[in-house]
């Protein structure tokens, strides 16, 4: 396949600049100083225990952040390796939460070209295919890789990035009469739940000889035995003719041999370190051998090597040679794969990765993975092409949008992603402990650990009780997806610098990408949060923002995240605030599961998550302090803007509450709980009226009761309702006016509309500087606001809003954030938190442009059936009873927890899963 018509482009000689992180103002520093001191103490404590805190601004990266990223390698969740646009392999994420940003300079492609002229002279050209000569460390001696020919200037070479593929053209360099194109392909294929998990990548080199003589070309692929970060010098590494091991990681590099292409290997050479006392060929000798002969000695193919010594770095190489006839074309195919079968977390839990279901768990599958990648990449490309072409060829869409839409997906590979082959019965059996229906099951359950998610197993007596109970068996069939292939569990980090798994308030924005491309993974993630919501963990937590204490997880409260060092088992690693008091998390859960159920048409999923959604609504209802039907914020940063104080009724959280009530009504109707559907619909109408009366000023909705600031994200509830196929939560004219105000104020008045939508603006003009976050632009929020505008018929304004992210982050004139879009930047373009989850929300724009057919056909009103007033009143009493019981969980006691569950058993049995 030729070069893409649309792609992100960079010339290889483009200067790489060091990125600049934002600096808080003096006022902000003073305001945050107490929290900063507590955070420093917490980070120090974590370091003393051999861990890194999830947010640790005091621990620098191994290399400074720079503008050199490109399309990452590999599928989803098997570990990823970054590859910069200059050809360097960096940003290694092969171990959970560990991101080594430094490049391993020995990992390179190099070219050697020999031409025999008619006059009998021979001309040889060789170079590493990397522009310029890097700065080498002292350990890389004259016999090491510094002795290679680093001759490429990059002036005539161009990189094209269109995730999950990339192209690099070397147009007449290093050989003026040879045009070389490298095509990089990874197995990221939407709706393919098998091959998209494979940790492999293929590089296809096409060589076009424009000269009048035949040319012999050899391409060399070298690879160090390293996962970066100094791991290469630890010693004890072993190479073999096909693969090599690094702790629990095995790599394989390969080239395909054909009738035209011959291959040879150097199983082991010395990358760096003293050659004295080592039996390895030096990097310099290896390079000289290829330069002179164009191949390696045949005896290398059977050679084995001893374990490497400390302070030495070893590597391997594979060479592929072909004669390219005058004015002819030939191709060479290389493959790379790695096998790290088990993801082991610092908390002690380990899970096998998804791909091990197909390649085994022994850790020696790299050779088979690379073999299969080379054989199957053409089919991957065909399927990727079929997926992307309709959008790339849609000329009604801006050019920058068409390729940036795909490139932002880099995060599903390079976001620390882990895709396990975990048996879901582990979570759903423990959840079933508490959702059992008979007294026998209930008593057996209460004998287990308090937290159902934390339980590592269940007793044989409990399993026997479940197996003997038809109602429990019925729930089991709902808890486990009714498909033959269990897709496993999915984790991704909030950011490469923020180590929380599946941060839920941020997934609210990012989830559109997963739902559109891998919907079964999205549903499984939501099932995990449903299980986590119906759990309770009384472990004491110290919260850094105000120095107060609380408990780790409260029944009915959606956790901020699924943990850090022991995901799924120890929830809520976030410890700045007590997120059980946040006003957005529960609402976001309800609107998301409603959207996902409607978009996929999966009724079993809807029934499985409904109890958690109901409990989440009961918890949130407690935040209606004055009983008017609308929740209030508590005068602290109790939502995703966790440094931006909000008080009373607010446009963001209040709108999400109104949207959640409507979503709860729709979800209840979907699962057949008609009384609850009618009850929530009534609450929705009441809250909607309070929302408008409290905040609408005729042009937009005020930030909260104390502030008239224009918040860019003020209509998040409206956005989600329409994205779910439901009516809006505000009138059409109000939505259009509010978003028009956001466009005029937060977009066009801010830096000329070229940096996205700033979070807060004063109605008179100027940034809202009440907090660090109010004056920031959030890339992911900007995309979400653009999606809301498109839904509202403001297509031109939506694309103009989102273009600011492109201009600031991806364009030639931007700040170099391509393939590492940060969470935020300030008015100088300085970043906070590179490589962040939220910008995946660009897929919300595509969702708004082309929603699923199921949502287009969804009823414009919530059908609740013929429900009597008495039934609705009884439902209201039940809801109030649960809310009352939930209050007993603070302080947490096992007795209170058990009483809540007993009520939930009865609710589930009578409403959702009736007898008979």
Q: Which pLDDT value is given to residue 456?
A: 35
Residue with token string 């490469």: 496
Same domain, residue pair 236 and 356: yes
Question: How many CB atoms sit inside 10 A of residue 235's CB?
Answer: 14
Same domain, 642 and 721: yes
Domain boundary among 384, 406, 425: 384
**pLDDT at position 248:** 72
Determine which of 294-298, 444-448, 504-508 has the lowest per-residue pLDDT on average.
444-448
The secondary structure element, H or E, covering residue 694 is: helix 674-695
Residue 310, phi then psi, degrees to nearest 5: -55, 150
The per-residue pLDDT for 106 is 92
Greater confidence (94 vs 901) lies with 94
Residue 644 structure tokens = 């931006």
CA 691/CA 675 separation, integer angstroms: 24
Q: What is the CATH number of the domain that holds 878?
A: 1.50.10.10
User: What residues have CB less than 8 Å from 373, skipping those under 6 apart?
Assistant: 187, 198, 200, 201, 202, 335, 337
What pLDDT digit, counting tens, does each position of 531-583 carry? Answer: 889 888 888 999 999 999 999 998 889 999 999 999 988 999 999 999 999 99
Q: How far is CA 811 from CA 10, 18, 82, 392, in A?
A: 10, 16, 20, 18
Domain boundary among 350, 384, 418: 384
Domain count, the chain: 2
The predicted pLDDT at position 300 comes to 62
Q: State how far the Cα of 440 lies from the Cα of 443, in Å rounded to an integer.
A: 5
Q: Which pLDDT value is given to residue 301?
A: 55
Average pLDDT (779-806) is 98
- Kindly report the pTM of this predicted structure: 0.92
Q: Which has more confidence, 460 or 621?
A: 621
Asked if the structure places residue 38 within a domain, the reply is no
Is cis: bond before 891, omega within 30 of 0?
yes
Q: Examine the pLDDT at 274 and tell me if it is beyond 80.
A: no
Average pLDDT, rounded, for the chain? 87
Pair 875, 784 in one domain: yes
**Using a CB cutoff of 8 Å and minimum separation of 24, what contacts does 877-886 make?**
878/907, 879/617, 879/618, 879/621, 879/676, 879/679, 882/614, 882/615, 882/618, 882/907, 883/618, 883/619, 883/621, 883/622, 886/555, 886/556, 886/615, 886/618, 886/619, 886/622
The domain containing residue 183 runs over which residues? Answer: 106-384
Is the pLDDT reported for residue 798 higher than 90? Answer: yes
| Phi and psi based region of residue 547 (left: phi greater than 0; alpha: psi -120 to 50; beta: remaining) | left
**What's the confidence (pLDDT) of residue 242?**
42
Structure tokens at 870: 């008495």
Does pLDDT of 477 surpass 60? no
The CATH number of the domain holding residue 224 is: 2.70.98
Percent of the chain predicted with pLDDT > 90: 69
Rounded to the nearest 5 percent, the helix, strand and coil shares of the chain are 40, 20, 40
pLDDT at 470: 45
Selection from 57, 42, 35 nearest residue 546 by Cα: 35
Block residue for tokens 């929740």: 631
Of all residues in the chain, what percent carry a pLDDT higher than 70? Answer: 83
798 and 697 inside one domain: yes
Evaluate whether residue 484 is within a structural domain.
yes
Task: Give residue 902's pLDDT.
Answer: 61
890 with 809, same domain? yes
Least confident segment among 76-85, 135-144, 277-286, 387-396: 135-144
Across 18-28, average pLDDT: 92
**Tell me: the pLDDT tens digits for 732-788?**
999 999 999 999 999 999 999 999 999 999 998 899 999 999 999 999 999 999 999
Comparing CA positions, the residue from 845, 872, 715 lying closest to residue 779 is: 845
- Work out the pLDDT band at 243, boundaries 50, 70, 90: very low
Q: How far apart are the first and last CA of the chain?
A: 59
Residue 752 burial (C-beta neighbours within 10 Å; 0-12, 13-18, 19+): exposed
pLDDT digits (tens, 9 = 90+) for 586-610: 999 999 999 999 999 999 899 889 9
Confidence at residue 618, expressed as pLDDT on a 0 to 100 scale: 92
Q: pLDDT tens digit string along 382-440?
A: 999 999 999 999 999 999 999 999 999 999 999 999 999 864 443 444 444 444 444 55
Average pLDDT over residues 130-143: 73
Report if residue 37 sits inside a domain.
no
The answer as to whether 195 is a domain residue is: yes
Which one of 344, 360, 384 terminates a domain? 384
User: pLDDT category, 879, cuts 50, 70, 90?
Assistant: confident
Domain for residue 655, yes or no?
yes
Tell whether 472 and 568 lie within a shared domain.
yes
Higher confidence at residue 780 or residue 466?
A: 780
Q: Are residues 380 and 461 in the same domain?
A: no
Provide DSSP, 581-640.
G-SSHHHHHHHHHHHHHHHHT-HHHHHHHHHHHHHHHHHHHTT-TTSSS---EEEE--SS
**Same domain (yes/no): 374, 521:** no
Q: Residue 474: is it exposed, middle or buried by C-beta count within 10 angstroms (0-12/13-18/19+)?
A: middle
What mean pLDDT comes out for the span 117-132?
89
pLDDT band at 628 (very low <50, low <70, confident <90, very high): very high
pLDDT in tens, 679-731: 999 999 999 999 999 999 999 999 999 999 999 999 999 999 999 999 999 99
For residue 414, give Cα distances in angstroms to 55, 772, 813, 820, 834.
Answer: 18, 27, 24, 9, 12
State the average pLDDT over residues 134-153: 78
The rounded Cα 635 to chain-centroid distance in angstroms is 31
Confidence tier at 644 by pLDDT (50, 70, 90) = very high
- Say if 524 falls within a structural domain: yes
pLDDT tens digit sequence for 830-869: 999 999 999 999 999 999 999 998 888 775 454 555 667 7
pLDDT at 472 over 80: no
Q: 138 by DSSP, 3-state: which?
A: coil
User: Do 342 and 463 share a structural domain?
Assistant: no
Instruction: Look at residue 547 in the predicted model and tell me its pLDDT.
Output: 95
| Residues 361 and 459 reside in one and the same domain | no
pLDDT of 236 reads 42
Q: Is the pLDDT confidence value at 476 over 90?
A: no
Q: How far apart are CA 44 and CA 143, in angstroms?
A: 41
> What pLDDT sits at residue 463?
45
578 domain-assigned: yes
Reported as a single tens digit per residue, the pLDDT across 368-385 is 999 999 999 999 999 999
Question: What pLDDT is recorded for position 897?
Answer: 62
907 has pLDDT over 70? no
Q: Above 70 in pLDDT, residue 141?
A: no
| 60 pLDDT above the threshold of 80 | no
Q: 362 with 237, same domain?
A: yes
| pLDDT recorded at residue 856 | 80
Mean pLDDT of 620-635: 95
Better pLDDT: 242 or 36: 36
Q: What is the pLDDT of residue 881?
A: 78
Highest mean pLDDT among 26-35, 582-591, 874-883, 901-910: 582-591
The answer to whether position 886 is within a domain reads yes
DSSP state of 308: P
Same domain, yes or no: 139 and 257: yes
């Amino acid at each position: 396949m030729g070069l893409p018509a649309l792609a992100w482009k960079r010339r290889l000689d483009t200067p790489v600049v060091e990125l600049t992180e934002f600096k808080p103002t003096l006022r902000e520093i003073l305001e945050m100083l107490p929290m900063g001191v507590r955070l420093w103490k917490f980070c120090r404590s974590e370091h003393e225990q051999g861990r890194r805190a999830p947010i640790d601004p005091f621990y620098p990266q191994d290399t400074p952040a720079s503008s050199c990223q490109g399309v990452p390698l590999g599928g989803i969740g098997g570990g990823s390796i970054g590859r910069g646009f200059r050809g360097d392999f960096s940003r290694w994420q092969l171990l959970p939460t560990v991101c080594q940003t430094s490049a391993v300079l020995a990992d390179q492609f190099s070219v050697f070209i020999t031409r025999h002229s008619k006059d009998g002279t021979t001309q040889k050209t060789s170079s590493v295919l990397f522009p310029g000569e890097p700065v080498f460390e002292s350990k890389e001696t004259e016999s090491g890789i510094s002795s290679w020919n680093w001759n490429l200037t990059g002036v005539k070479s161009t990189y094209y990035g269109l995730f999950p593929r990339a192209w690099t053209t070397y147009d007449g360099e290093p050989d003026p009469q040879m045009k070389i194109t490298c095509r990089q392909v990874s197995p990221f294929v939407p709706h393919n739940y098998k091959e998209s998990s494979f940790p492999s990548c293929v590089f296809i080199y096409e060589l076009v000889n424009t000269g009048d003589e035949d040319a012999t070309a050899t391409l060399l692929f070298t690879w160090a035995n390293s996962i970066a970060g100094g791991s290469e010098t630890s010693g004890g590494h072993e190479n073999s003719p096909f693969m090599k091991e690094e702790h629990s990681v095995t790599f394989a590099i390969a080239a395909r041999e054909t009738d035209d292409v011959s291959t040879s290997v150097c199983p082991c050479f010395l990358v760096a370190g003293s050659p004295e006392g080592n039996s390895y060929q030096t990097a310099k000798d290896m390079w000289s051998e290829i330069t002179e002969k164009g191949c390696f000695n045949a005896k290398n193919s059977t050679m084995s090597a001893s374990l490497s010594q400390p302070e030495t770095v070893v590597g391997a190489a594979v060479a592929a040679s072909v004669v390219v006839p005058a004015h002819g074309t030939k191709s060479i195919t290389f493959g790379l794969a790695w096998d790290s079968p088990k993801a082991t977390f610092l908390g002690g839990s380990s899970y096998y990765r998804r791909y091990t279901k197909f390649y085994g768990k022994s850790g020696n599958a790299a050779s088979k993975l690379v073999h299969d990648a080379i054989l199957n990449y053409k089919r991957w490309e065909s399927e990727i092409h079929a997926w992307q072409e309709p959008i790339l060829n849609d000329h009604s869409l801006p050019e920058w949008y068409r390729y940036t839409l795909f490139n932002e997906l880099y995060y599903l590979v390079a976001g620390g992603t882990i895709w396990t082959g975990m048996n879901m019965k582990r979570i759903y059996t423990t959840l079933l402990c508490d959702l059992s229906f008979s007294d026998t099951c209930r008593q057996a359950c209460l004998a287990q650990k308090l937290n159902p998610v934390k339980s590592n197993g269940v007793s044989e007596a409990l399993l026997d009780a479940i197996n003997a109970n038809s109602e429990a068996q019925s729930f089991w069939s709902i808890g486990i997806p009714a498909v033959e292939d269990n897709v496993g569990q999915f984790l991704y980090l909030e950011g490469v610098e923020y180590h929380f798994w599946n941060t839920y308030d941020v997934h609210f924005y990012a989830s559109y990408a997963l739902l559109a491309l891998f919907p079964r993974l999205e549903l499984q993630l939501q099932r995990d949060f449903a299980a986590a919501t119906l759990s309770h963990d009384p472990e004491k937590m110290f919260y850094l923002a105000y120095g107060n204490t609380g408990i780790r997880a409260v029944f009915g409260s959606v956790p901020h995240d699924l943990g850090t060092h022991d995901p799924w088992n120890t929830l809520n690693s976030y410890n700045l605030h007590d997120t059980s008091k946040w006003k957005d998390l529960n609402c976001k859960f309800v609107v998301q599961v409603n959207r996902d159920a409607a978009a996929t048409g999966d009724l079993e999923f809807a029934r499985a998550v409904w109890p958690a959604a109901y409990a989440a609504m009961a918890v949130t209802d407690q935040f209606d302090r004055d009983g008017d039907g609308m929740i209030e914020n508590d005068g602290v940063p109790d939502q995703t803007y966790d440094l931006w104080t909000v008080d009373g009724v607010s446009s963001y959280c209040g709108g999400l509450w109104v949207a959640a009530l409507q979503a709860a009504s729709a979800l209840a109707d979907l699962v057949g709980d008609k009384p609850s559907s009618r009850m929530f619909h009534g609450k929705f109408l009441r809250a909607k009226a309070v929302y408008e009366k409290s905040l609408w000023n005729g042009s937009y909705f005020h930030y909260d009761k104390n502030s008239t600031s224009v918040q860019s994200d003020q209509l998040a509830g409206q956005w989600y309702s329409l994205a779910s196929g439901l009516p809006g939560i505000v009138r059409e004219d109000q939505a259009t006016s509010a978003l028009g105000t956001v466009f005029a104020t937060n977009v066009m008045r801010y830096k000329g509309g070229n940096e996205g939508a700033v979070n807060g603006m004063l109605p008179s003009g100027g940034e809202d500087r009440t907090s660090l976050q109010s004056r920031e632009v959030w890339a992911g929020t900007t995309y979400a606001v653009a999606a809301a505008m498109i839904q509202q018929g403001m297509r031109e304004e939506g694309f103009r809003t989102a273009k600011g992210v492109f201009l600031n982050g991806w364009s030639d004139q931007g700040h170099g954030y391509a393939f590492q879009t940060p969470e935020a930047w300030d008015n100088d373009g300085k970043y906070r938190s590179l490589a962040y989850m939220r910008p995946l929300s660009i897929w919300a724009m595509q969702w708004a442009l082309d929603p699923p057919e199921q949502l287009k056909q969804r009823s414009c009103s919530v059908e609740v059936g013929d429900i009597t007033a008495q039934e609705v009143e009884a439902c209201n009493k039940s809801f109030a009873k649960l809310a009352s019981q939930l209050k007993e969980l603070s302080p947490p006691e096992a007795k209170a927890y058990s009483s809540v569950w007993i009520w939930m058993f009865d609710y589930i049995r009578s409403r959702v899963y009736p007898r008979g």
